[in-house]
Amino acid sequence: MEHSTQDRFTLVVKKDCPTCLMLEPVIGQLAQQFPDRLEVYVQDDPSFPANVDAPIDDSSLEYSYKNGIEIVPTLMRIEAGAEEKGRIHGWDRQQWRQFTGIANLGEDLVEFKPGCGSKTQDPGMDELLALRFDGGQLHSRSVEVGTAEDLLEACYDRGWSDGLPVVPPTPIRVMRMLKATGREASEIIGEVPPNNVPCSIEKVAINAVMAGCKPEYLPVVLASVEAALKDRFCMHGLLCTTYFSSPVMIVNGPVASQIGMNSGVNALGQGNRANATIGRALQLLIRNVGGGVPGGIDRAAMGNPGKYTYCFAEDESDEQWSSLAMDRGFEREQSVISLFAGEGLQPIVDQQSRNPESLAKTFASSLRSVVHSKLFGLADAILVISPEHRRVLREGGWGKVDLQQALYDDLITPGSAILRGVDGIAEGMPDKFKDKLLNKFRDDGLHIVSTGGTAGMFSAIISGWVASGERGSQMVSQVIK
């Protein structure tokens, strides 16, 4: 390395490092060689090393953090213009001699000894230091809480909760959450209805913290927000309706197993942190950022438990069975979240069918009841097929395409059979449909997914919003980055 008499050297050490202790004579030698051009920063004991005048106390770790020190000792060469020219770490005698230009440096020491981890690498320090020295990236309003206030109750009292306790979004928790994405905290992800408030990545992170998410869930939460804000999903209308519906989230691809989502036993129930908190994060965001508060703009007459959270992963263990994401044009290797405006879960029990034809008719018969058995083309639906029912289809030589065609055929119904007043039921289709053949669902209105435990010949239906389709909400999908 070429050396300039104007270059300076900066050395970062800590006393609690055997290599740094061993190098104390070398540090003294450097101080003699470069009396006005050496700075020594010490991370723990400002009296170390004793043979250097005025070592710089870096116990706050500000210098180490801002300069990306990961190992001590680290020796840096700084050009006259304050630009770093290079750095070395640990002890390698030949390397240090070439780096400093001192031919006899460390003559009495071993040739090589690795360094130790910088104190900036201690568990939990990354987020703490980011908050301490990069805290300016947090722009949300700070809320002062009284010393006598219980933090959980404080969040509830300020209206930030969905009725269940939330995790207080302290700055360190928010910083830790933001570390899970490479996106800037200030980036605006979109405008959240109903008040169309601009929403930053930071705001998403705050609500993910309150929902109880782990940082590794944040990319999925971000994708769910991006999907929910698409015009085709019609989140504003979904909030305002008096109907039951709320966002239903289905996750496909490698991310589901990477973050430990449940696609098996009780996948649509309680007990899995990822399933529960990812869905909850979106709901809290809509409430806390967009102003979608029940009894306010949220006018649901009854609602449904899915308004707390409604999120699960699809069982993709059978590679012969296409996933929902694949049906929507994505590759199996892609991680995708799909949002559907849906209501509660309607069971389908069929423990007798042993061939696809019979099972398909069971599914079709049950699907007729979506919204109302005499209302056709009004709401989309998701047919959730259990592994045991999927096995019946597979053993009968059927794939998903075969099932879709059978359901389409079985659901074709003469309009005259479902008119208003027929069978003594006032509800039904208008008279203009009496001479038409109708299908229960519009094109692309019936979606098929698979999830659940391997025991139990039970499948289910998630009925859609009565404003499904072009006039309201459509299923939307978003790649998880």
Bridge pairing between strands 38-42 and 8-13: parallel
Residue 351's contacts (CB-CB under 8 Å, 6 or more residues apart) are 457
Residue type, 108: D
Kindly state whether residue 191 falls inside one of the protein's structural domains.
yes
Co-location of 26 and 83 in the same domain: yes
pLDDT tens-digit map of 408-454 = 999 999 999 999 999 999 999 999 999 999 999 999 999 999 999 99
Kindly state whether residue 1 falls inside one of the protein's structural domains.
no
Co-location of 87 and 162 in the same domain: no
Kindly state whether residue 130 falls inside one of the protein's structural domains.
no
Co-location of 54 and 194 in the same domain: no
Co-location of 157 and 115 in the same domain: no
Kindly state whether residue 145 falls inside one of the protein's structural domains.
no
Kindly state whether residue 128 falls inside one of the protein's structural domains.
no
Q: φ and ψ at 256, to 5 degrees?
A: -60, -45
pLDDT tens-digit map of 196-251 = 999 999 999 999 999 999 999 999 999 999 999 999 999 999 999 999 999 999 99
- Residue length, the chain? 481
| 1 pLDDT higher than 60 | no
**Taking Cα atoms as reference points, which of 427, 352, 364 lies closest to residue 392?**
352
| 137 pLDDT higher than 90 | no
Residue 145 pLDDT? 85
Residue 111's contacts (CB-CB under 8 Å, 6 or more residues apart) are 92, 93, 94
pTM: 0.86
Co-location of 291 and 329 in the same domain: yes
Kindly state whether residue 53 falls inside one of the protein's structural domains.
yes
Co-location of 178 and 47 in the same domain: no
Q: How many domains does the chain have?
A: 2
Contact present, 263 and 256 (Cβ < 8 Å): yes
Residue 176's contacts (CB-CB under 8 Å, 6 or more residues apart) are 127, 215
Bridge pairing between strands 71-72 and 56-57: unpaired
Of these ranges, 176-180, 460-464, 466-470, the one predicted with the greatest mean pLDDT is 460-464
Domain final residue pick, 121, 137, 160: 121
Residue type, 468: S
Domain of residue 29, CATH code: 3.40.30.10
Co-location of 115 and 228 in the same domain: no
The Cα–Cα gap between 225 and 263 comes to 21
Domain final residue pick, 79, 99, 121: 121
The Cα–Cα gap between 126 and 132 comes to 10
Co-location of 75 and 163 in the same domain: no
Confidence of residue 126 (pLDDT cuts 50, 70, 90): confident
The Cα–Cα gap between 398 and 222 comes to 36
Q: Domain containing 391: what range?
A: 151-479
Kindly state whether residue 396 falls inside one of the protein's structural domains.
yes
Domain final residue pick, 69, 102, 121: 121
Residue type, 190: G
Co-location of 239 and 342 in the same domain: yes
Q: φ and ψ at 387, to 5 degrees?
A: -55, -35
Angle formed at CA 74 by CA 69 and CA 80, multiple of 5 degrees = 95
Residue 241 pLDDT? 93
DSSP string, 257-286: HHTT---STTTTSS--HHHHHHHHHHHHHH
Instruction: Output the average pLDDT for the chain.
Output: 94
pLDDT tens-digit map of 68-81 = 999 999 999 998 77
Kindly state whether residue 170 falls inside one of the protein's structural domains.
yes
Confidence of residue 470 (pLDDT cuts 50, 70, 90): confident
Co-location of 313 and 213 in the same domain: yes
For the record, the structure tokens of 270 come out as 């309680």
**Taking Cα atoms as reference points, which of 164, 168, 204 lies closest to residue 184?**
204
Co-location of 67 and 207 in the same domain: no
Co-location of 380 and 463 in the same domain: yes
Query: Burial code of 377-415, b = ≥16 C-beta within 10 A, e = fewer?
Result: bbbbbbbbbbbbbbebbeebebebeebbebbeebbebeb
Residue 81 pLDDT? 72
Confidence of residue 332 (pLDDT cuts 50, 70, 90): very high
3-state secondary structure of 341: strand
